Amino acid sequence: MVCLELMSAVVIVACAYGQPPLPPLPMKDGCHYLDSELEVVRMEGEAVILNFPIFTRVLEKRKIGSPTATYLISKNNGTDGATFRAEGRVQQHDKELWLLPARASDSGEYICTYRNETYCVTGNITLHVYESSSVNMRKLSYGWPVAVGEEVKFSCQPLCCFNNTDGPVDWYKDSNPKALQPGRGGSLRRDGGALIIPAAMQSHAGLYTCRLKVLINNQQYNVSRSFMLMVEAPNVPPPVIVSPLNGTIFESSHGSGLELSCQVLTECPMADFTLVTWLVNGQSVESSYLDKRALQGGRRVTGVSEGCRIEQRLVIAEITDGDEKTEIKCVTENKGGKREAVIQLQLEDSTLTWLVVGAVAVSCLVTVVSIFLYVLFKPKGKKKMDYFLARQNSTFSF
């Protein structure tokens, strides 16, 4: 009976107001308190704006607010909190705290308190400011997991917090000091301050950082955000190198050319996402000592009964003595894994070659001399004598 009455009350309230009443907020030290905001991690020397999104949404949802209410942001030092004004390096502007710029000593818990004549609500957020000299960029990044082939769009979050920006937004990957540029074939695109990867591949995984400069009160500050892109690969078998076999030794003579072909077998849907390349002594062909004499290319994909076969050729125009024992490696990789096949160049033994040539030459010489001597000293036969038979008792007359 009691349950039915409670259910009826909920239904009546829902019908009257369109939704059930919100549960009361927990109390602490005479003030309602909210769950902690997500922690914020920033780099020393950059401009930082701390806001309290959960705190703000709760006030709006519960329609809490009045012209006479006050917002107070303080730093929790374990005793009395330090408060801030709208001037100086650390400034409070309504429900935001501006640090211009942030220092490592600013790390800690910050509390935002809303208070009017009858109501009090508090929220808190934790800020970590790392020194630039010892910062671990992974701590400054937001995890961004995606599946292979999924579109990724990184928005430079500082743009939503700072109204006045000065200059372009530059994007960087990992520790490369050179800013990213739109890729060939649309592999990377720019949309204002956003960076777009139309179809993520495992090679796209890594740390992406946007950097820009902002103007606050006519003073310029640096701002950055980092995202750790994690490209999740489904369970697919790794590619298989059909040819060449690992450990193969290729013999070539000095001055001759050599053409190698790496043939890889993979699933056809993965063919376009499968890398096949050649390395020379662990370096790319273009970066190796063979750069002027070698060229890789001619990638070809062919459908076979087992899947798709990918062929990548490597042509060496001329083999020299310096190529002896050179290690050449075919490497293939896709989201299923990585495979390698190592081969070695070896020059044919010139001593053995000359021995063979010499033996053939001596054999030919002996044959010629033998024929000459045979012709020269060939035994002569007896001359054939002319004769006729005469009958006995024959008489000749003249």
> What's the pLDDT tens digit per position in 95-149?
889 999 999 999 999 988 888 777 888 888 899 898 876 666 667 777 888 888 8
Domain ranges of the chain: 21-130, 137-232, 240-347
Give ∠ CA 262-265-267 in degrees, rounded to 5.
Answer: 145
Residue 15 token pair: 């019908």
The predicted structure's pLDDT at residue 8: 39
Q: Which of 222, 210, 41, 40 is nearest to 136 (CA)?
A: 41
The predicted structure's pLDDT at residue 342: 93
pTM check: above 0.85 = no
The predicted structure's pLDDT at residue 365: 74
The predicted structure's pLDDT at residue 2: 34
Query: Which element (helix H / strand E) includes 15?
Result: helix 2-17
- CB of 210 within 8 A of CB of 141? no
Q: How far is C-alpha 254 from the chain's CA centre?
A: 39
The predicted structure's pLDDT at residue 164: 56
Positions in the chain short of pLDDT 50: 1-17, 79, 352, 382-392, 394-398
Q: Which of 284, 311, 309, 307 is nearest to 295 (CA)?
A: 284
The CATH superfamily assigned to 21-130 is: Immunoglobulins (2.60.40.10)
Q: Which of 301, 219, 235, 193 is nearest to 47 (CA)?
A: 219
Within 10 Å of residue 242's Cβ, how many Cβ atoms?
Answer: 16
Distance in angstroms (rounded) separating the CA atoms of residues 52 and 158: 15
**What's the residue count for the chain?**
398
Distance in angstroms (rounded) separating the CA atoms of residues 353 and 251: 13
For the structural domain made of 240-347, what CATH number should be given? 2.60.40.10
The residues near 121 (Cβ < 8 Å, ≥ 6 apart) are 25, 31, 32, 33, 34, 55, 58, 59, 64, 113, 114, 115
Q: What is the CATH class of 137-232?
A: mainly beta
Look over the chain and give the mean of its residue pLDDT values, rounded to a whole number.
79
Distance in angstroms (rounded) separating the CA atoms of residues 302 and 181: 32
